[in-house]
């Protein structure tokens, strides 16, 4: 008897002999795979929110560790290809397009703040060079979470185009209650996810994520940004 399966490197549905079917991440019974994809999304997002909203530093660090281990376990269980996760090298055209659009957006943001009479930099003592380097690394980690984990599973559940909107909305919601970051990350998330959908590499997206984040820090006063904190950190600033 043939069993309907889904191949997640694309969107093709294929039939394979039932006795030879093995749940190896990319080719499993469709109903089981959809359930497992939902399970992964919900569990990791809940753990992530626990890390963002825990009032004690020790508790936040514990939830960050739990989230990281959970993501690693799910990735090892799924065994996706490097290409699917966006861990391969980008094409020159894709990387160039992402960098060019993002650089133009960062320049526009700085010029718009200047034309509006804002101080540039808006926060002369923050961020420091040390924090800037840390933020660029953190931006790449965020893109791994957003694209390699959340987007790929949303893609399985909703299709490639709809996944852009769903993943970007999840990304923005994780930046609540900061009004500035929630707004910018929703718009930025749509761009990041669409570029990932088209060119499938997190590296240029991680770079421009860091660049645009620093442009926001350069142009927005800390009275609104709260050191770019989210969750309980934003409220306790």
* 222 located within any domain: yes
* pLDDT tens readout for residues 117-132: 999 999 998 899 889 9
* 12 located within any domain: no
Beta bridge partners of 16: 3
* 36 located within any domain: no
Q: Is the pLDDT of residue 154 over 60?
A: yes
Higher pLDDT, 128 or 47: 47
Domain that holds residue 229: 83-237
Please give the pLDDT value at position 212: 97
* 49 located within any domain: no
Please give the pLDDT value at position 6: 44
* pLDDT tens readout for residues 4-13: 444 444 433 3
Give the span between the Cα atoms of 197 and 176, in whole angstroms.
Answer: 25
The alpha carbon dihedral of 229, 232, 235, 237 has a sign of: negative
* 53 located within any domain: no
Q: Is the pLDDT of residue 86 over 80?
A: yes
Give the span between the Cα atoms of 79 and 24, in whole angstroms.
Answer: 7
Q: What does DSSP assign to residue 91?
A: P
* 208 located within any domain: yes
* 59 located within any domain: no
* 77 located within any domain: no
Domain count of the chain? 1
Q: Is the pLDDT of residue 95 over 80?
A: yes
């Amino acid at each position: 008897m043939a069993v309907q399966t889904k191949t997640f490197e694309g969107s093709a549905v294929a039939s394979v002999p039932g006795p030879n079917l093995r749940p190896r991440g990319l080719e499993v019974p469709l109903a089981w795979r959809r359930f497992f994809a939902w399970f992964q999304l919900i569990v990791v997002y809940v753990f992530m929110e626990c890390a963002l909203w825990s009032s004690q530093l020790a508790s936040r660090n514990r939830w960050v560790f739990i989230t990281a281990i959970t993501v690693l376990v799910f990735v090892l269980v799924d065994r996706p290809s490097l290409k699917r996760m966006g861990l391969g090298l980008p094409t020159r055209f894709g990387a160039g397009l992402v960098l060019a659009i993002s650089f133009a957006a960062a320049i526009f943001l700085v010029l718009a703040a200047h034309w509006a009479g804002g101080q540039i930099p808006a926060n002369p003592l923050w961020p420091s060079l040390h924090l800037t380097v840390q933020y660029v690394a953190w931006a790449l980690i965020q893109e791994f979470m957003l694209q390699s984990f959340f987007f790929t599973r949303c893609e399985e559940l909703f299709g490639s185009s709809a996944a852009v909107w769903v993943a970007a909305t999840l990304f923005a919601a994780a930046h609540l209650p900061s009004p500035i970051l929630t707004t910018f990350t929703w718009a930025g998330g749509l761009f990041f996810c669409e570029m990932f959908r088209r060119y499938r590499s997190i590296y240029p997206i991680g770079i421009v994520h860091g660049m645009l984040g620093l442009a926001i820090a350069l142009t927005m006063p800390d009275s609104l940004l709260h050191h770019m904190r989210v969750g309980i950190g934003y409220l306790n600033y």
